[in-house]
Amino acid sequence: MVLYFSGTGNSRFAAQAIARICQDELVSINKLMRQRVLDPYNTPYEFSSDSPFVVVCPTYCYHLPLVVESFLKDSRFVGSQEMYFFLTCGSGTGKAYDHAAQICREIGMRFMGLASAKMPENFITLFRAPEPDDAVGIVRASLTQAESASKQIMAGRMLTDVNAGIAVPEPFLRLFYRFFVHDRLFTVKENCTGCGVCAALCPTVNIRMKDGVPTWGGNCTQCQSCIAICPNDAIEFGRRTRKKRRYYLYSDGRQKFPSEQKTDNDP
Ligand SMILES: Cc1cc2nc3c(=O)[nH]c(=O)nc-3n(C[C@H](O)[C@H](O)[C@H](O)COP(=O)(O)O)c2cc1C
C-alpha cells in the first residue's frame, strides 16, 4: 500500500509512479487528514496490506514533515510489518533517513529504508520555484528514482538514500517550525474570486471561507497548496511571494501555469 502526503503534487506524482509499477493500492494521506478533521469519529487511521507499506512525502527542513510523523503515529498497520519511505525534495533529504527509522521504531514497524528524488522546489514562501521548462525536466528525471525504488521494493530489498544533503540538528528543526511554519503572513488580494479552491485543498482544513474570502486558522503546515493552486494567484505570504512564480503539479503530471483556471479535486 502506497500512502502519500503532498502539498503541491510532487510527492503525489512519485507515489502514483510507485503504485503503478508495484501494482499496489494508492492512498492519499491529505484526504484522510481532511476527513478526520471534518468527521473525527468516523475516520480511523487503520490500514491493512499484505504488501509492504510505502510512505511518500516531501522533505521539510531535511526531515519528514511533522504532520506525516503524527499521522503515522496515530495509525494502525495490519498485515505487512515492513515500511519503506520515498521522499521528494528540492535539494536533499538530510536527516530524513534517521527520522523515518526512528518513527518506525516508535510505531513497531520494520524500517526498510528510504530513497528520494529531487523535484521542483515548491517552498516559495521562502525560496523560488524553478522556471517551467526546467521544472518539466526535473519532474521527468525524478521518474528514474521512483522506478529504481519500486524495483527494490518489489524485490524486498532495503532502500539506501544516496541524496543525503544537510544533516540539520534537532534544535534547528524546532526553530524552523517556530519561525517558518505558520500562516500569519497570508493575505488575499482584490482579484480573489472567493472560489474556495484553497480551502477545499488544505490538508489540515486550516482555511475557512468567511464572506467569500479565505481566512487562515493557525494550524498551517506550510505545504504551499493554497498559494500554489489559487487560479488567480491572489494569495501572498507577506512580501516574500510578490511576483514569484507559483508551482503546482496536477495529478495528470501537467504543471499549473500562471492564472490557469483549472482546479484540483484530487489531493
Ligand atoms: C515547508 C517546506 C520545507 C522544505 N524543506 C526542504 C528541505 O529541507 N530540503 C529540500 O530539499 N527541500 C525542501 N522543501 C522542498 C520540497 O521538499 C519539495 O519541493 C517537494 O518535492 C514538495 O513536494 P510536494 O509537491 O509533494 O509537496 C521544502 C518545502 C516546504 C514547503
- Asked whether residue 229 is assigned to any structural domain, the reply reads no
- 173 CA to centre of ligand 1 in angstroms: 14
- Asked whether residue 143 is assigned to any structural domain, the reply reads yes
Residues 6 or more apart whose Cβ sits within 8 Å of residue 68: 5, 29, 55, 57
- Asked whether residue 181 is assigned to any structural domain, the reply reads no
Residues 6 or more apart whose Cβ sits within 8 Å of residue 170: none
Number of separate domains in the chain: 1
- Asked whether residue 169 is assigned to any structural domain, the reply reads no
As a whole number of angstroms, the distance between CA 43 and CA 71 comes to 12
- Asked whether residue 15 is assigned to any structural domain, the reply reads yes
- Asked whether residue 232 is assigned to any structural domain, the reply reads no
Atom 28 of ligand 1: nearest residue by CA position: 60
- Asked whether residue 78 is assigned to any structural domain, the reply reads yes
The CATH number that applies at residue 118 is: 3.40.50.360
- Residue 167 has a pLDDT of 83
Residues of the chain with pLDDT under 70: 162-163, 257-267
Q: Find the Cα–Cα–Cα–Cα dihedral 262, 15, 179, 241, rounded to 10°.
A: -30
- Residue 257 has a pLDDT of 66
Residues β-bridged to residue 4 = 28, 56
| Count of other CB atoms within 10 angstroms of residue 106 | 11
C-alpha cell at 11: 510527492
Tell whether pTM > 0.85.
yes
- 140 CA to centre of ligand 1 in angstroms: 17
Report strand pairing: 76-79 vs 53-58.
Answer: unpaired
| Count of other CB atoms within 10 angstroms of residue 117 | 27
- Asked whether residue 182 is assigned to any structural domain, the reply reads no
- 205 CA to centre of ligand 1 in angstroms: 20
Atom of ligand 1 nearest to the CA of 120: 19
- Residue 93 has a pLDDT of 95
- Asked if residue 30 has its Cβ within 6 Å of ligand 1, the reply is no
- Residue 94 has a pLDDT of 93
- 243 CA to centre of ligand 1 in angstroms: 20
**Which residues constitute the domain of residue 115?**
2-154
- Residue 150 has a pLDDT of 98
